[in-house]
A and B are shown apart, each in its own frame.
Chain A
Amino acid sequence: MSKSTIAIHLPDGAVREVPAGTTPLEIASSISPRLAAASVVARLTPLTANGTASGAKASEAGEAAMYAPEDKTAPRLVDLTEPMTEDAKLELVTEKDAEALKVVRHSAAHVMATAVLELFPDTKLGHGPATDSGFFYDFYREKPFIPDDLALIEAKIAEVVARDEKFERVYEPREKALDEFSRDGDFMKTHFVTRFTEPGSQVSFYRNGRFVDFCRGPHVPSTGRVKAVKITGLAGAYWLGDEKNPQLQRIYGTAFFSTKEMDEHFKRLEEAAKRDHRVLGKQLDLFSIQELAGAGLIFWHPKGAMIRKVMEDWMREECMRRGYCLVNTPHVMRRELWKVSGHEGFYSGNMYTPMELDDAEYRLKPMNCPGHVLIYKNSPKSYRDLPARYAELGNVYRYERSGTMHGLLRVRGFTQDDAHIFCTPGQIESEVAACIDFAEVVLKTFGFSEFKVELSTWDPNDRAHYIGSDENWGLAIRSLDSVLKSKGIPFKTIPGEAAFYGPKIDIKLVDVLGRLWQLSTVQFDFNLPARFELEYVGEDGERHQPVMVHRALFGSLERFFGVLIEHYAGAFPLWLAPVQIGLVPISERHLAYAE
């Protein structure tokens, strides 16, 4: 397949015929030395590429994505010094490109490992990926690192950066590499090479100076490009997450292309820490979580409960104005109900375990839907009764692993502003439009002006995974799509992200620090109406199955409150403030005037 000349297509439409083996750096240099100097890596899309999907997936597959040989037919980031052998589209990635940051952070992990091995040569290497906020590297050492070591490592990192060592990619036969790793007692590297490479293959390594690491890259051209780097923490982690295995030391760090960007990053973190709802919750006496009662369970103190009352009153009134009926349903219900609803099957692991009473087993509700379904089913319905909109501020309990709870944001008991709409297929579009409208009003009223919308649809190639008719799925997805389009709301469609029971729209609000929070959701459900055999008599006199829509706008009152606290840094707008006016009489005799 190899050719002597290849065609490289540049973003401006130009096509360069160059000898096979030409590198992106050579192309960059021929365009301008400045571009060559500014480039970090290159994005290469072979012209034989089978779409972009496989590339996107491969980059999210965790360890396999770090070590498994790259799919050379998919779009990918490559080193500037990677010889190109096929016709391809080439884009030079500079520091401005969002993906470049991940590359420099991965390179920073190598730089840190270089520093650690120079200071502590007996250390064994685990793996060291880039993360969303920085990078880490797992190390094994008999004697654990102490905080003073981190300062030494940081100083050594500066030396490695100053040496400006080139990152070079080298290949070695797999068996030779494995021999060397096992001879040196590098049990973790042995594991990764064994697991992620094929016998008889050439294994990819990256070298900078005397440091060599099993890695498929890509990397920045040299260690000097890691201009701003800082160690941010140290934690223990068991090898392969198993507590029977040796304990590793995970050193966290972060890296940027400039100290200015890094300073801004730490300033943002500092600002976020000042707004931490757990700190403000205590300081302003809004809520607590009590050891004696259990993790993930919220106690709303008088001031927090006052804000909650204002939120609830507003929501209930708004629901009534918009034609919802308010309902209430029990917190514990018979296990039989959860069998009919299917939760016993697909959701059991998220539910509290059953409690046995004298007549039957009961379970705490993790969702309000089956309760609302029973209300619908309790009397015959005709098309004249639809849409039926039932709303409840329903307390639900979901099992979260101990140790995973986080303030108001991740809890075991919470209150959904939950509603279910039962309607005819012909009413879908106007109901969805009304839900989106309502969601926008919620966000605006509570002070969020910016949000991001995602439409999760099915993967039609995986039909067996989804329940409900093709017709209903098509109708639901088209309605969600057309409502968003007709409202001019920008959104991202994510195929394959829908739940098995229906497509959905998720609305993520953007807070004052630019952080995204998933709160509102509008979801179709083709599962429950079928399982509970819901019906209505249509205009034609025949029985039909209604369409069911779940929607929650605050999402969870607890979580929304947590986000509000951080968004406003505790300085709630007047209409939400638990105490709106503080009275200060200058002396006791003015108290009467206060009254």
Chain B
Amino acid sequence: MKAAGLRVETDARNEKMNAKIRDLANQKTPYILVFGDKEEAAGAVSVRTRGKGDQGSMPLSDFVAKAKGLVASQSTEL
């Protein structure tokens, strides 16, 4: 994702998943990606979009393409 020019922050703290999601949401982070064994095996990510909540899982490459598109078009949708 960094290679795609996206600004990414990993919450590597030893905290509960929900606490991490809450803190990122409080910082008004546009996308929050959660992943564990299932996602890693499938090459996927579970996506939470600001203002829309949990959007379910999608392939990592699709997500990157979508995010890149929104950035490139300077979209104010998200």
Bound Cα distance from A565 to B67, whole angstroms: 22
Kindly identify, within residues 31 to 68 of chain B, every residue whose CB is under 8 Å from any CB belonging to chain A. Answer: 31-37, 39-40, 50-51, 67
1/0 per residue A25-44: CB within 8 Å of B?
A: 00000000000000000000
- Give the nearest-CB partner of A579 in chain B: B9
1/0 per residue B11-48: CB within 8 Å of A?
A: 11010010011001011111111111101100000000
Contact residues in A for B39 (Cβ distance below 8 Å): 593
Contact residues in A for B74 (Cβ distance below 8 Å): 314, 445, 573, 575
Interface stretch, picked from A88-96, A136-144, A406-414, A580-588, is A580-588
Complex contact B76–A583 (CB within 8 A): no
Kindly identify, within residues 568 to 595 of chain A, every residue whose CB is under 8 Å from any CB belonging to chain B. Answer: 569-575, 577-588, 590-591, 593-595
Bound Cα distance from A590 to B37, whole angstroms: 7
* Nearest CB in chain B: distance from A275 CB, A: 12
Contact residues in B for A284 (Cβ distance below 8 Å): 27-28
Complex contact A581–B29 (CB within 8 A): yes
Contact residues in B for A593 (Cβ distance below 8 Å): 35, 39-40
Kindly identify, within residues 424 to 455 of chain A, every residue whose CB is under 8 Å from any CB belonging to chain B. Answer: 445-447
> Does chain B have a CB within 8 A of A237?
no
Complex contact A571–B51 (CB within 8 A): yes
Kindly identify, within residues 255 to 287 of chain A, every residue whose CB is under 8 Å from any CB belonging to chain B. Answer: 283-284
* Nearest CB in chain B: distance from A34 CB, A: 46
Complex contact A582–B32 (CB within 8 A): yes
Contact residues in A for B9 (Cβ distance below 8 Å): 579, 581-583
Bound Cα distance from A587 to B39, whole angstroms: 12
Cβ-defined partner of A585 (8 Å) among B12, B29, B70, B76: B12
Complex contact A579–B71 (CB within 8 A): no
Kindly identify, within residues 269 to 307 of chain A, every residue whose CB is under 8 Å from any CB belonging to chain B. Answer: 283-284, 306
Cβ-defined partner of B10 (8 Å) among A571, A572, A583, A587: A583
Complex contact B50–A571 (CB within 8 A): yes
Contact residues in A for B37 (Cβ distance below 8 Å): 586, 590
Interface size on A, residues (CB 8 A): 31
Complex contact A580–B67 (CB within 8 A): yes
Complex contact A574–B70 (CB within 8 A): yes
Complex contact B30–A586 (CB within 8 A): no
- Give the nearest-CB partner of A306 in chain B: B7
Bound Cα distance from A447 to B74, whole angstroms: 10
Complex contact A579–B20 (CB within 8 A): no
* Nearest CB in chain A: distance from B8 CB, A: 5
Complex contact B71–A591 (CB within 8 A): no
Contact residues in B for A580 (Cβ distance below 8 Å): 6-8, 29-31, 67, 71
Cβ-defined partner of B33 (8 Å) among A577, A583, A591: A583
Complex contact B76–A584 (CB within 8 A): no
Bound Cα distance from A585 to B37, whole angstroms: 10
Complex contact B10–A585 (CB within 8 A): yes
Complex contact A575–B8 (CB within 8 A): no
Complex contact B30–A574 (CB within 8 A): yes
Contact residues in B for A587 (Cβ distance below 8 Å): 36
Complex contact B24–A575 (CB within 8 A): no
Contact residues in A for B72 (Cβ distance below 8 Å): 575
* Nearest CB in chain A: distance from B52 CB, A: 12
Complex contact A586–B35 (CB within 8 A): yes
Complex contact A584–B31 (CB within 8 A): no
Contact residues in B for A588 (Cβ distance below 8 Å): 12, 14
Contact residues in A for B78 (Cβ distance below 8 Å): 573-574
Contact residues in B for A595 (Cβ distance below 8 Å): 10
Kindly identify, within residues 482 to 533 of chain A, every residue whose CB is under 8 Å from any CB belonging to chain B. Answer: none
* Nearest CB in chain A: distance from B32 CB, A: 5
* Nearest CB in chain B: distance from A446 CB, A: 8
Contact residues in A for B71 (Cβ distance below 8 Å): 574-575, 580
Bound Cα distance from A571 to B76, whole angstroms: 11
Complex contact B1–A574 (CB within 8 A): no
* Nearest CB in chain A: distance from B12 CB, A: 6
Contact residues in B for A314 (Cβ distance below 8 Å): 74
Given contacts A574-B67, A578-B7, contact A586 B33 (CB under 8 A): no
- Give the nearest-CB partner of B71 in chain A: A575
Complex contact B29–A582 (CB within 8 A): yes
Complex contact A584–B20 (CB within 8 A): yes
Contact residues in B for A575 (Cβ distance below 8 Å): 70-75
Bound Cα distance from A284 to B24, whole angstroms: 10
Given contacts A573-B76, A574-B75, A575-B75, contact A584 B30 (CB under 8 A): no
Bound Cα distance from A354 to B27, whole angstroms: 43
Given contacts A573-B78, A574-B78, A593-B35, contact A581 B11 (CB under 8 A): no
* Nearest CB in chain B: distance from A321 CB, A: 14
- Give the nearest-CB partner of A592 in chain B: B40
Most chain B beta-carbon contacts within 10 A, residue among A284, A583, A586, A591: A583
Complex contact B35–A581 (CB within 8 A): no
Complex contact A586–B76 (CB within 8 A): no
Bound Cα distance from A572 to B33, whole angstroms: 18
Bound Cα distance from A590 to B40, whole angstroms: 8
Complex contact B28–A571 (CB within 8 A): yes
User: Could you name 11 residue pairs across A and B whose Cβ atoms are closer than 8 Å?
Assistant: A445-B74, A571-B30, A575-B74, A577-B29, A577-B30, A579-B24, A581-B30, A583-B9, A583-B10, A585-B10, A590-B40
Given A577-B28, A581-B29, A595-B10, 18 more A-B residue pairs with CB atoms under 8 Å apart are A284-B28, A445-B74, A573-B77, A573-B78, A574-B67, A574-B75, A579-B7, A579-B8, A580-B7, A581-B31, A583-B9, A583-B33, A585-B10, A585-B36, A588-B14, A590-B35, A590-B40, A593-B39
